[in-house]
Amino acid sequence: MAQNIYTGFHGVEEKVRRYSVSKPDGIVPHVYYSKPGPRIKKIIGMAKEGGIEVSLIDGKQLDTMCAALPPQSRDHRGIILVVDGEEENAKNIVALEEWLTVCPENATVVVLDSVTDPHNVGAILRSCDQFGASLLVIPDHRSASDVKDNEIIARTSAGASSWVNVAKVSNLVRSVQMLKECGFWVYGADAGGTSLQEIKFDRKTCIIMGSEGSGMSRLLEKQCDNIVSIPTCGKIDSLNVSVAAGVLLYERYRQGL
């Protein structure tokens, strides 16, 4: 049984909120805390109301429990959430084929090609949540996807990783083809394309974000109906991939979901 540990106020609070509403079979969340400050008291109250077990322990015990986490996740701020069985039961992990059978007529899908930095994935998830994207598609290889990455993604996304649907796929090209077959218009983010100021996004929009180094693969680029670029005035080469995704998602949201 897989065990995940969440630290930081945002990540813990969002997970507690989710599991206070619904606890799938096999999921066992447990809150541990050592500093009952105002923010922690709020989270503890929410957990107790939702039937989640809560335990007061020594701060050094929290340090020990977080010792194996990535450095960015070890600053627990006096509270952590331990979830057993989550990996197999996380409701926001979906099969693309099944999701396409119920996707709305007005939807935004973001596809990540070789985005390996978990901080970028987490930031993109946060933008997906804030600007109403329906699904994030990532490959099950050449991406940020191991246990340590998941911890960083959850923390960087400020809880959005609990709410945004994510599909992990074995073949990105075939997945984009499936989206196109279901009526999605595919926009690839890259330099030298149509200015974002001139783009009118389709009701079913798929946005492909490539890595900062190599961009989209050629096979994925061939699947694009349009290449879109963000007009800038800076002196460096390009925007960070998570910032660029946020700009594109905001414009899609502004045009109306």
**pLDDT, tens digit, 9 for 90 and up, residues 167-195:** 888 899 999 999 999 999 999 999 889 99
What pLDDT does 229 receive? Answer: 94
C-alpha dist (Å) from residue 225 to 228, 240, 253: 10, 23, 20
What pLDDT does 148 receive? Answer: 45
Q: pLDDT tens across 228-251, in order?
A: 999 988 666 678 899 999 999 999
Relative to beta strand 28-33, strand 79-84 is antiparallel
Domains, the chain, with CATH or none: 3-89 (3.30.1330.30), 96-255 (3.40.1280.10)
* pLDDT-above-70 percentage for the chain: 85
What pLDDT does 111 receive? Answer: 97
Cα 22 to chain centroid distance, Å, stands at 20
Distance CA 181, CA 200 (A): 20
Distance CA 34, CA 58 (A): 6
Distance CA 152, CA 148 (A): 7
Mean residue pLDDT of the chain comes to: 85
| pLDDT of 72 above 80 | no
Q: Which positions ≥6 away from 23 have C-beta within 8 Å?
A: 29, 51
How many Cα neighbours within 13 Å face the side chain of 70?
18
| pLDDT of 198 above 50 | yes
Distance CA 46, CA 33 (A): 14
What pLDDT does 147 receive? Answer: 42
DSSP code per residue over 34-60: S---HHHHHHHHHHHHTT-EEEE--HH
Q: Which positions ≥6 away from 25 have C-beta within 8 Å?
A: 89
- Answer yes or no: are the C-beta atoms of 38 and 28 closer than 8 Å: no
Distance CA 185, CA 201 (A): 8
Q: pLDDT tens across 130-143, in order?
A: 999 999 999 876 55
Q: pLDDT tens across 10-60, in order?
A: 778 878 988 887 777 788 999 999 988 899 999 999 999 999 999 999 999
| pLDDT of 212 above 60 | yes
What pLDDT does 89 receive? Answer: 42
- Answer yes or no: are the C-beta atoms of 110 and 41 closer than 8 Å: no
